[in-house]
Structure 1
Amino acid sequence: MKTLLILLGLLLALLLPTHGHDTSVLVFRFQELGDERYQLDYVAPPGSPQGEAPPVLPAHATWEQEPQLPAGPVRLIFATDGKPLSGEDRIVLPWRCSGVLVHAFWRSGETARRFIPRGDEGIVLTIGELRAGVGGTGEAAKRYTLLGVEHMLTGWDHLLFVAGLLLLVKGWRQVVATITTFTLAHSLTLGLSTLGWVKFESGVVEVLIAFSIAVLAVEIIHVSRGQAGITARKPWLVSFLFGLIHGLGFAGVMEDLGLPRQDLPVALLFFNLGVELGQLAMIGLWFAIVKALRAMKLALPLRFAWAPGYALGIIAMVWCLDRAVGLFS
């Protein structure tokens, strides 16, 4: 049975992404050149989605030259047929990244910065949204909240860490204390790091996040054997200490956005709010599943109480080793 579980854990570790904080947020430059000509600039790393397909232009626009998509900086120029772009025209980026931070430069001297998240059609840049004064605080709040929710719900390492905490805690009082301290801790380091007051190498942070899951896994196994340690006795303390590290991981998103200082308060506040909403959604789903299993009288036999700890530990250690190797590559 243990051999089968180890093989299952290794399979899951290979299927889950090893980099839980890959935000895939792209910086995109839009510039009006004049005479109904426009320029697009972005970076396409080797093997990235933006290196595989060009932006999709409005129907009345054409490329000056057939788009070349080299690995690295990409510059594309297009023109419109007899009339400038209108506010309703759209440029669609058919890429799988979470969103783009657009810098728009107009010949009038007007500039704008907008974060555009991915939608059902891809990432849609509506020209009217790239004008200064469009999309105030309310729109920015919505976008950064959605980015925070998405990052939490697609960050497997964060989700597994919270799942490990929920496997350890007993009773609502412990749940509230443990999750609250985790929230306070990662909010603290998210803010400090985003403001530039605390800095850590992102690769090291990734290794430490995987290690934090491994620590929880070991404690889950100990508890299954009746040997509870400090992690089980005081989960709120451990969640706070490791929450500081997870906050540094969240801060990588804000750093990738390259936001100007004046945009930081709104972005930081609502991104963090989105992270908390995603975390609450995950916890709510967890307890709904537990309640449903109890209603169906389904439970893990006591002799297999160690199984979740082994599965979690195998995934965490594969991540840990993979990320540690990545520090030297």
Structure 2
Amino acid sequence: MSWRTRSAALLLGCAALAPQAAMADIFLSGDYALTRGEEPGEYEFTAAVPETVASSSPLVWPDGCRQTGMTRHSAGGRAQFGFTLRCNRQFRPSDTIRTPWKVDGGRFVSNVLGVQVDRALSPESGAIVVPVGETAAGPRSLGALAAEFLDQGLWHILMGWDHLAFVLCLALLARGRQLVTLVSCFTLGHSISLGLAFFDVIRAPVPPVEAAIALSIVFMAREALVLARGGQVFSFPRQLTVISLFGLLHGLGFATALGELGVREGEKLASLAFFNLGVEIGQLLFVSAVLASLALLRTVSLAAPARTAALYGVGAVGSFWMFERVAGFVTA
């Protein structure tokens, strides 16, 4: 290994050991609920968010409402907040609660106004604004669903480090038409399993799936390294089969995020289609960025050492995630 490759691998290794690397698939979701209290004008607002973002910053309540109590406890890596409110008037349709926690999406449920509300939430300026005055979760237009779930799919892939690590291995494994075909088969695989899991046709426990996803990254990094060294001949049918199967596995990971967004029954098919499309757009943007970077590195004769260093780094990070996740569900 040349000094340039060793230097790049060392930098990637340091990045892999940074604290943020412990969070592989960092789709941060929040769950919010509003219920009536025991006294007239009293309400209970609850929120569950990841511990990593659970600051003690105050919430912004609707005009005419004040906080009279608060509890907090932790369970399963999530902070559970409970707030007691007293309001001197009925909620209006425009009333909201602004939360301080930086999450990627969430779900809000309520029945305090006589109609069951169950809807997905997207962040506004980095925070979730909960529409507590919404009297009914009426059907949304196709355009509204497209905007929301394209955005959710796009950001889930771009912020899902383990899925991006796998796609990076594909971009460093093949070129041209073969790369396009491999990425398409990966997309097809995760689209199938995402749909089956989302519609409850199949169910898989999340911790083992996440550990297996990390293992798939290690496997693909090794495959690309062995091929780069000439240790084996590139077998396109074999890679096609392996990557399609790994796509099925990654789709189960995507299903976890989509299932946490409060999709109503009549919106499932459209939300699934637009979420998948958002994921695919994100993948294509990422692959394009990787290929552009490699083309730039070729102009200074650094493409080969950068490819090797990146694969070593991705393999190391994937191994770390795998052991971390296995340890997590073994000790849970």
TM tier, shorter chain?
A: 0.7 to 0.9
- Report 1:157-306 matches (<5 A): 157-171=162-176, 173-230=177-234, 234-257=238-261, 259=263, 261-294=265-298, 297-300=299-302, 306=308
The one of 9, 24, 27 aligned to 2:28: 24
- Report 1:3-18 matches (<5 A): 7-15=10-18, 16-18=20-22
The one of 119, 126, 130 aligned to 2:124: 119
How many residues get paired?
Answer: 322
Which stretch shifts more, 120-129 or 3-12? 3-12
Give yes or no for the alignment of 1:140 onto 2:142: no
Which stretch shifts more, 243-252 or 283-292? 283-292
Check whether the contact 1:5–1:307 (CA below 8 A) recurs between aligned residues.
Answer: yes
The one of 40, 47, 53 aligned to 1:49: 53
CA shift digits 1:153-176 (9 cap, x unpaired): 0111111111111111122x1122
CA shift digits 1:115-168 (9 cap, x unpaired): 111121511123454533274443233222211111100111111111111111
Three-state SS of the structure 1 residue aligned to 2:118 is: strand
- TM-score under structure 1 normalisation? 0.85
For structure 1, list consecutive stretches of 5 or more residues without a partner in the other structure.
none
CA shift digits 1:81-103 (9 cap, x unpaired): 4x333223321011022122111
User: Aligned partners of 1:153 and 1:211: how far apart in 2?
Assistant: 20
Check whether the contact 1:94–1:123 (CA below 8 A) recurs between aligned residues.
Answer: yes
User: Aligned partners of 2:109 and 2:265: how far apart in 1?
Assistant: 15
Q: CA deviation at 1:245?
A: 1.0
CA shift digits 1:264-296 (9 cap, x unpaired): 2233222212211211221222233334444xx
Q: CA deviation at 1:27?
A: 2.1
User: Aligned partners of 1:137 and 1:98: how far apart in 2?
Assistant: 22
User: Aligned partners of 2:125 and 2:7: how far apart in 1?
Assistant: 39
Q: CA deviation at 1:58?
A: 2.5
CA RMSD of aligned residues (A): 2.8
User: Aligned partners of 1:126 and 1:184: how far apart in 2?
Assistant: 36
User: Aligned partners of 2:90 and 2:235: how far apart in 1?
Assistant: 63
Q: CA deviation at 1:76?
A: 2.0
Three-state SS of the structure 2 residue aligned to 1:70 is: strand
User: Aligned partners of 2:142 and 2:206: how far apart in 1?
Assistant: 30
Check whether the contact 1:140–1:266 (CA below 8 A) recurs between aligned residues.
Answer: yes
Give yes or no for the alignment of 1:105 onto 2:111: yes
User: Aligned partners of 1:232 and 1:308: how far apart in 2?
Assistant: 22
Q: CA deviation at 1:229?
A: 4.3
CA shift digits 1:221-253 (9 cap, x unpaired): 222322234566753333212111111111111
User: Aligned partners of 2:306 and 2:106: how far apart in 1?
Assistant: 46
User: Aligned partners of 2:306 and 2:127: how far apart in 1?
Assistant: 44
Three-state SS of the structure 2 residue aligned to 1:306 is: helix
Q: Aligned in 2, Cα 1:215/1:60: closer, same or farther, shift over 3 Å?
A: same
Which stretch shifts more, 52-61 or 117-126? 52-61
Q: CA deviation at 1:41?
A: 2.3
The one of 296, 308, 328 aligned to 1:326: 328
CA shift digits 1:54-97 (9 cap, x unpaired): 5321343212x24233336543222334x333223321011022
Q: Aligned in 2, Cα 1:66/1:313: closer, same or farther, shift over 3 Å?
A: same
The one of 78, 82, 95 aligned to 1:75: 82
User: Aligned partners of 1:55 and 1:68: how far apart in 2?
Assistant: 14
Percent sequence identity over matched residues? 29
Check whether the contact 1:293–1:299 (CA below 8 A) recurs between aligned residues.
Answer: yes
For structure 2, list consecutive stretches of 5 or more residues without a partner in the other structure.
none
